[in-house]
Structure 1
Amino acid sequence: MRFILCFALVFLCKNICNAQFTDVSTHDYKFTKTERKDIPNKKGLFSKRIVPVALIATGFLLSTSDFEKSLQKDIRGAVGNDFSANYDDYTRYAPIVQLYAADILGAKSKNHWFDQTRNLIVSSIISNGASTILKKEIYKERPGGLEYGSTHANSFPSGHTTTAFTTATVLYEEFIETNPLLAYSGYAFAIATGGLRMMNNAHYLSDVLVGAGIGILATRLVYHFDYLIAWNPFKKKDGIALAPQFNENGFGFYFTKVF
């Protein structure tokens, strides 16, 4: 079954490269002024999908293997069997904080803040939806049993890692052409999230790899086709910002107006 899924992913990736798409222009945004900046799309759809497809395929092949079970034992032995930290509950959202902080400080980005928020929400719905479906279909036990999960076997893939790489890829897409250091910095938090999930004995390596692949793939697809949902009611209004906020108790929005 894992071989069939991997073959299907490779076949899908191969077919995608035969399609041609129109390059989309890039926007340069500040809260006090909105300008247009044309930045060529240097990478095709196929090249953007190689890494996430490879991560997903590798994760499926490694799942339930002796290698990942041995690796998990080694990791727990290195950090201690009583190791427990909840930093991963927050690091998965760190790229979102970076994204809107950069907007507020006037950093040049690919899109208007409303487009950023729209792409973030759509990417999160797709990636977490796919992750949830796989959890229910695969039904894989966590390495730590029920200690770090619910009463269900829902280890594969890692939801925390899916969210972390979704938010990190949104940050990457927005700033890779204007601020590469900021663009890549989100992945540091995403990798830390995946690593912490393994150190906490909540997930195996394959869970983390597939979660990362899903997050990256979903987000890059959304950005490639974002011209299909290009509606933006705030584009001609300067000095307005609306950013989502996440915490353990719920979800909300932060609104600001520059006069």
Structure 2
Amino acid sequence: MKIYSILFALIFTINLTSQNDSIRRSNESKFLKKKLIIPSILTGAAFLLTKSDFEISLQNKLQKRLNNNFSTKIDGYTRYAPILQMYTADLLGAEAKNHWFDQSRNMALSLLITKYTTAVFKGIIVKERPNLQNNNAFPSGHTSAAFASATVLYEEFKDTSPLLAYSGYIFASSTAYLRMANNAHWFSDVLAGAALGIAITKLVYHFDYLFDWNPFKNNEGLIVLPSFTNQTVGLTGILRF
């Protein structure tokens, strides 16, 4: 009788654990689907509008309003503005979701995966730019990078500094607008770029437990930041007292 009781308890425990794992996986799946609602909507709108009369008309009206001679390179910098915001907030002691090393890792993964995924789609979806320079308009690489970096900023500060968290999307949206103003992209291109940047970053944060390694966790006073000088990339270490 004692053996049967032990067997019953063991089977019940295994069954309960299996049910709990099933519930956890189901909840995680629902949570992930919820995170991808906005990127899905943006993607659907992008494919619906690409090469449409509405898109062509919108681009023509924008260029006409800008006298067809607008040109700026500031969009090359605004796409990375959320990165500067994040590290500045860290230096000022703002409370974030993760340690600066984990932030950097997630930022690097998000931007790298976004960059190469964007390049793949550009090669598959051959679409001419409005300025006729080449056939890799869809999706916008500047916009995908901008929304990836903005989403990292959002994920890090959404619970502690909502104003800071959402502010990155101002720079990302400005980047998207400037790409159209420069006549380098159509409306659907920037929509698709935004969708890619947001979706990939959401996935990186959803699965960040798979990369749970941080050699600087016990060195809270040390911050290592990326530096960009004359087209070279390096690292700068800062000791915070």
TM-score tier (shorter): 0.7 to 0.9
Gap change, CA 1:218 and 1:90, over 3 Å in 2: same
RMSD of aligned residue pairs (Cα, Å): 1.6
Aligned length: 217
Aligned: 1:250 with 2:232: yes
* Residue number among 178, 183, 186 corresponding to 1:196 in the alignment: 178
- 1:246 Cα offset (Å): 4.1
CA distance in 1, matches of 2:174, 2:131: 19
One of 17, 27, 43 as aligned partner of 1:20: 27
Distance 1:47 1:120, change over 3 A: same
Amino acid corresponding to residue 27 of structure 2 in structure 1 = Q
Aligned to 2:55: 68
CA deviation map 1:117-174 (0-9, x unaligned): 000011111111111001011111100112xxxxx41100000000000000000000
Q: Secondary structure at the match of 2:223?
A: strand
Q: Secondary structure at the match of 1:80?
A: coil
Shift of 1:248: 6.6
Aligned to 1:239: 221
2:148 to 166, 182, 186: 166
Say if 1:248 and 1:71 are closer, same or farther in 2 by CA, change over 3 A: farther
Q: CA deviation at 1:245?
A: 3.0
Q: Aligned to 1:91, which of 78, 82, 106?
A: 78
1:249 shift after superposition: 1.3
Give the 3 Å change call, closer, same or farther, for CA 246–63 of structure 1 in structure 2: farther
Instruction: Please say if residues 91 and 240 of structure 2, whose CA atoms lie closer than 8 Å, have aligned partners that are also in contact.
Output: no
Residue 124 of structure 2 is aligned to residue 117 of structure 1:
no
How far apart in 1 are the matches of 2:219 and 2:43?
41
**Residue 176 of structure 1 aligns with which residue?**
158
Whole-angstrom distance in 1 between the partners of 2:98 and 2:135: 39
- Cα distance in structure 2, aligned partners of 1:109 and 1:82: 42
Higher fraction of helix: 2
1:185-244 deviation digits (Å, cap 9, x = unpaired): 000000000000001100000000000000000001100110110100000112100112
- TM-score after normalising by structure 2: 0.86
Q: Percent identity?
A: 53
Q: CA deviation at 1:85?
A: 1.1
Choose the corresponding residue for 1:107, options 87, 90, 94.
94
TM-score by length of 1: 0.80
